[in-house]
C-alpha cells in the first residue's frame, strides 16, 4: 500500500488554517497567501518530503536576483521560513 505524502500546497493550507485558528486578522492571512503564491507555483505539487535544503537555497537565491524591493524579497523568504519552523 502506498504511503500518503502531504504536498507543499497541503502543508501551506494547514499552516494558513492554523494561523486563522490562532486569530490572525484576515489581512494577515491574505498577506501570507499572496507571498506564498510564488513558492506554491514552484513547489506546490511536490511532496513535502521531497524538498531539500538545496531546493530552498536555490529558491532564495532566485528571489535575491530579481529586480524587486529588498522588503519584498525579505517577505518572500520570511513566509517560507515561518512555514518550515
Residue 30 lies in a domain: yes
What is the C-alpha R_g of the chain?
14
Number of domains in the chain: 1
Residues 8 and 59: their CA atoms lie apart, in Å, by 14
Residue 2 lies in a domain: no
Residue 3 lies in a domain: no
Residue 16 lies in a domain: yes
- Residue pLDDT, tens place only, 2-29: 788 999 999 999 999 999 999 999 999 9
Supply the DSSP symbol for 3. Answer: P
Residue 25 C-alpha cell reads as: 486578522
- Which residues form the domain of 19? 8-84
CATH code at position 50: 1.10.150
| The pLDDT value given to residue 64 | 92
Which pTM value belongs to this model?
A: 0.87
Evaluate if residue 49 carries a pLDDT over 60: yes
Residue 41 lies in a domain: yes
Residues 37 and 61: their CA atoms lie apart, in Å, by 17
Amino acid at each position: 500500500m502506498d504511503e500518503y505524502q502531504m504536498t507543499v500546497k497541503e502543508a501551506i493550507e494547514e499552516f494558513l488554517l492554523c494561523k486563522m485558528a490562532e486569530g490572525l486578522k484576515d489581512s494577515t492571512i491574505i498577506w501570507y497567501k499572496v507571498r506564498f503564491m510564488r513558492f506554491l507555483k514552484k513547489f506546490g505539487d511536490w511532496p513535502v518530503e521531497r524538498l531539500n535544503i538545496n531546493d530552498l537555497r536555490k529558491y532564495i537565491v532566485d528571489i535575491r536576483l530579481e529586480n524587486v524591493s529588498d522588503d519584498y524579497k525579505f517577505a518572500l523568504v520570511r513566509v517560507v521560513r515561518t512555514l518550515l519552523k
